[in-house]
Structure 1
């Protein structure tokens, strides 16, 4: 397909004559098979989250976050209240449907309705959530909300270039690597190169089908072991 041009013969991007800004994400509840996302409420979720994070044997999950793990419940509750009321972020608590307890958080951020772009970030998963079906489903629920409900065009993931677990998670979830912004930030007294990843709306139907196949109960043995990998089901 030839690229559109203007009267000067200069190349242009694809025309969007009917484009309208997308709705602003709202503090909604998103329910799945294994977990539920609820708008973060420090009074309701804070103590459970502090206890879940405190169950980790060390602080390695906080190395590439802009904050360190909280030693005192009161400090974490104050942080959770700040997250809850920060208008630049929409934080969600991940609720384990088996226990009814909050076991982690993630957020929508850098939300630009006029362009149909948003980012998922501030992902803080406790040991009870990491590498579980709930963890994958939490990301699926937010992506489905962004693309199917709100009609966004682009969904981003950014991380410290040193954060190999985050980079691997982005690729596993179907994000495409787009490049590295060198010396993008200074935090915790060090320089950060930031890796950019994204999913766009034309890619979402195939990713959605892969997620739903992976999350199906028949994809897991009685002991909870996956039968097929997410990437394999996405590419099938």
Structure 2
């Protein structure tokens, strides 16, 4: 249900009340388990080889077009990168593990974590080709959303991307994010301008989005070949 502004005792429009608000906990859960995948806090000793397959020199070059990162040219530099993010204090990075094969197929991170106001962002979304457009890709996002809203009580969950990245914008709207606008000339990266498209899900939108995603992820929505019977956007 959409919450609306109200009038104060001076007949001024103000935001709706948020009673008994307290600072939100920092996300620190190391493992999230779903029907099809497991999210594990990145551990280079466990996840290195699988991650290197789609972070290293054999990765799909199209993966890196809209990221500030580039593929890693050798194992040493990637090891150093994983060491850095593994000990990151302001963000938390997850490996996305296929539950049936125990192989890492993707990774992402919770970043821009604002505990005081209950807002954070899903970022550094990097999927192997075999994970893209699969139910694992959807469930991985669902698991983090559930953790952020239902367990930690955050109010705002953000997705932002290069405005030129049509695939990312489509993914955001498919998952239920609402488009908020464009920050023009926000960044310079890879010697080019980035206008940033902003999307979000808020706490009052989450219950209906959660219900829709649960219906889509239910095993009854897939045939024997694993093909969806109904699209998420049609739920």
Q: TM-score normalised to the size of structure 1?
A: 0.94
Go from structure 1 to structure 2 and tell me whether the alpha carbon gap of 1:3 and 1:208 turns closer, same or farther (over 3 Å shift).
closer
Q: How does 1:1-236 map to 2 (within 5 A)?
A: 3-54=5-56, 58-233=60-235
Supply the distance in 2 between the matched residues of 1:73 and 1:57 (Cα, whole angstroms).
Answer: 13
Distance 1:31 1:40 in 2: 15
Structure 1 residue 188 displacement after superposition? 1.2
1:108-157 superposed Cα distances (whole Å, 9 cap, x missing partner): 00011111111101001011211111110000000000001101111000
Within 1, Cα distance between the matches of 2:51 and 2:88? 18
Cα–Cα, structure 1 residues 55 and 136, in superposed 2: closer, same or farther, change >3 Å?
A: farther
CA contact (8 A) 2:118 2:156 kept: yes
Q: Residues 167 and 2 (structure 1 numbering): CA distance in 2 closer, same or farther, change over 3 Å?
A: closer
1:53 CA drift (Å): 4.2
Q: How well do the aligned residues superpose, as a CA RMSD in angstroms?
A: 1.6
Compared CA separation, residues 126 and 200, structure 1 to 2 (3 A): same
Over 3 Å counting, the alpha-carbon distance change for 1:8 and 1:196 in structure 2 is: same
Distance 1:125 1:175 in 2: 19
Gapped runs of 5+ residues in structure 1? none
Cα shift at 1:58: 3.3
Larger displacement relative to structure 2 (46-55 or 193-202): 46-55
Distance 1:156 1:97, change over 3 A: same
Say whether the 8 Å CA contact 2:112–2:121 is kept in structure 1: yes
Post-superposition Cα deviations, 1:184-211, rounded to whole Å, max 9, x if no partner, equal 0111111100000000011111111111
Cα 1:117/1:3, change in 2 over 3 Å? closer
